[in-house]
Amino acid sequence: MGTAFSNISGGQNFAERIIFDTDVLITGMDIYSLDWWNTVGNYVVVRTWDEQVGYPDIGTVDDFLSVIAAVDSEGITTAPVLSIGSYTRLHVDFGANSFNLAANTALWIGISGFQSEMGQLALSGPKQPGNGTMYMFNGLNPAGEPYDGDMAMRIHGERSVPETSSVVMLLGFGLGGLMAVRRVFVR
């Protein structure tokens, strides 16, 4: 973990780029924060932006309200580097607001406090997963990339995998079509 940031939807808030190699149903998200900023049941704003040339497309923002469903230490494997509190995981279930993200499609996503402060930790060091930056906003206005690392976050979802019966059925249609083509050429 690196730096801790103030994170509220009407002020400073953040987004991180995500992309998957298969279709994914995004069902929730965790961000990592300091323990004294958050309570189960607090409202949060979840925002997404499409990507435009490596940055959030400011004209495509979508958002919805949700609540913090869990505050715990799941996924925290390091002692606090900051001397102002301990680290905590904030989990938000998207519920009816879950959405599909197509394979190889980049999306920017962030969670921020709605009416109260919500902290955001950054990842730093040699094991950070992204490009070492997250995108910063002031409300909805772009403010650039802070230098302090990627968002400390985790996405929850379900990868779309064809059902076995669907694969067998497609294989059967393909073999049937091949046999029909072969019979045409044999006659």
Give pLDDT tens digits for 9-24: 999 999 999 999 999 9
* % of the chain with per-residue pLDDT over 70: 75
- Cβ pair 128, 69 in contact under 8 A: no
Tell me if 117 sits within 8 A of 10, measured CB to CB.
no
Mean pLDDT value of segment 138-156 = 88
Domains observed in the chain: 4-160 (2.60.120)
**For residue 118, what pLDDT is reported?**
87
Q: Where are the beta strands (DSSP E) in 68-147?
A: 70-72, 87-93, 99-101, 107-113, 120-123, 135-138, 141-144
pLDDT digits (tens, 9 = 90+) for 69-85: 999 988 887 665 655 56
Contacts of 6 (CB under 8 A, 6+ apart): 12, 117, 119, 120
Rounded Cα distance between 14 and 55, Å, is 12
Split at pLDDT 50, 70, 90, the class of 162 is low
- pTM score, two decimals? 0.79
Task: Measure CA of the first residue to CA of the last residue in the chain; give whole Å.
Answer: 71
- Please tell me the predicted confidence (pLDDT) of residue 38: 79
pLDDT higher at 159 or 146 = 159
Computed over every residue of the chain, the mean pLDDT equals 82
pLDDT at 184: 44
Task: Quote the tokens at residue 167.
Answer: 């694969």
d(CA 20, CA 38) in angstroms, rounded, equals 29
